Chains A and B, each alone.
Chain A
Amino acid sequence: MQTPAPFEYERATSVGHALALLERFGPEARLVAGGHSLLPMMKLRLADPEYLIDINDLTDLDYVRLAGDTIAIGAMTRHATLLASPVLAEHYPIFADAERVIADPVVRNRGTIGGSLCQGDPSEDLPAVASALSATLVIQGIDETRTVSARAFHTGPYETVVGPAEILTEVRIPIRPGAGSAYEKVERRAGDWGATAGGCFVVLAADGETVVDVGIGLTAVGAPHFCAEAAEAVLRGRPATAENLAAAAAAAAEVTNPQTDQRGPAEYKRHLAGELTRRALRRAVARARGQEA
């Protein structure tokens, strides 16, 4: 098996300690949480940090809780926890849908939402979920804590706005009463990266017809900031008819820029972007109407 190049290891005991270590070690330092993105890259010698700062002891960042009309998720929350969370199941089943098809159960015991968002892999699922929901991400630095919209968090493949001496600490999602949400993914096999994946939420008016609000997220297809705002605009304020959902789906496919690889040719992925958006919207609408679990 492949093995990493040498590095130094420190274990952080608190967020403050982690930040101090980041500042001390500089740009050759990386945080390691679940490690299932970083360590494989280090073993293949595609990543070569000089310092690894282990933040797995920051258990006070491991939570899913209701704070008024907001769901707050600590950055160290593991995929397995998100999958099993009753709070998320109640308000945003898009999470359980996505988690069910992220990697495999063993990897989900380790990977974290913070790691997933910060890794910024263009095929990662949770960035699409966070973008779909227009989550707010809390970034803590040595001197200040700031918030960034999920839709402004990623600046390119594997690139985020988190600075060298900053840590993502929390993901906040507003509770939207009556919202329905869903996630769809096509993979060649359980545990594979998606050929295409995406999810959405909708909020319907009291009549159960008009789409009051909608968020559409996409991953693995080069959608800027993991979302399809133009498609949302097509649907927002309109009745949730099959035709309108299809139109929004088609618009979502338009914003994609998929790459051909062994998961499929670009035209297939573009087709999937539309098809999966249509299916996710349909299920989200059904859930908003209370018609589907």
Chain B
Amino acid sequence: MKHGPLIFLGLLITMGWSWFGLIFTPYRHTVAMTPDTNQITQAVYPFQRNGLARKGAEVYRANGCYACHTQQVRSEGQGNDQQRGWGTRHTVAKDFLYEDVAMTGSQRLGPDLANVGARIPDANWHLLHLYNPKIKVPKSNMAPYPYLFEKRKAGTEASNALQIPPAFAPKDGSVIVPTPEAVALVAYLLSLNASTPVFEAPPKTNAAPSINTNAPTATLTNAPAGASNAVPQ
């Protein structure tokens, strides 16, 4: 091959083929994507996050949580994501329709978080876990995030002070209070719930495990199968 311009043309064609196939075509498919209105429950999904949860997404991004946590659940034939209670259906592109940044992640050094708001709907659990993950998951390898919390003098009155178990509480009796970032981040985590069926991932009609906390047989946790009352891990 002697001629630069010919090579250039060839490169243009090959780049065009990749760009057209993988970028333009999906773009055309998503440009008309609208939220689903569920025929059964009449719920509209997905929904735009409210202010605090949206700020929380920024905190999630600013601390690189996506470096260890994914937000993509696979179907049952592909892995045991659903058996671990991480979701009731395969993640679809529509789940990220209203995200500012779709942080799907690519590593599972920590569990998948796509449905963590449904799995662990307790704000205090998340606050304590962020302050020191070992409080909630004794063998956790996750780093603590003390800078998301404020330390106040012992004896200070604070309505939102964390109730830390004595083994992990500060030795000097300081009172730990979450900063606005921590509160926003927890609001974001609680908003992570992608269990609503959509057209691409319809409900399974027979004995589908539901993420509804009222259903007593739901496998809510990613604890080993069969230990339905175990602490979520």
Chains A and B bind each other: no
Enumerate chain B interface residues (CB-CB to A < 8 A).
none
